[in-house]
Amino acid sequence: MEWLSKLALALVIIGAINWLLVGLFQWDLVTALFGGEILRSSSGLSRVIYSLVGLAGIYAISFFFKENAVIKNKE
């Protein structure tokens, strides 16, 4: 995986984990780091969707290691 793809994947994962925090705790990590209102009020349905996006981001961490596994299997 080239460096730009890895960077994009890392940013997607960070964003998804931030949404997971919003979904579970109504707390915005990015806003806490860079300023602004850190608590978000949202409906129950939107919190479920944020949490699902966050869980997908955690799953996406495995994509960093899948390419290496494919290359090792070909050798």
- Residue 67 is predicted with a pLDDT of 64
Structure tokens at 73: 């299997």
Look up the pTM and report it: 0.76
List pLDDT tens digits, range 2-57. 889 889 999 999 999 999 999 999 898 888 888 888 787 788 899 999 999 999 99
Q: Where are the domains of the chain?
A: 3-74
Residues in the chain: 75
pLDDT at res. 39: 83
Residue 61 has pLDDT above 80, yes or no: yes
Note the pLDDT of residue 5: 87
3-state secondary structure of 46: helix
H helix runs in 1-75, sequence order: 3-25, 29-34, 44-60, 63-74
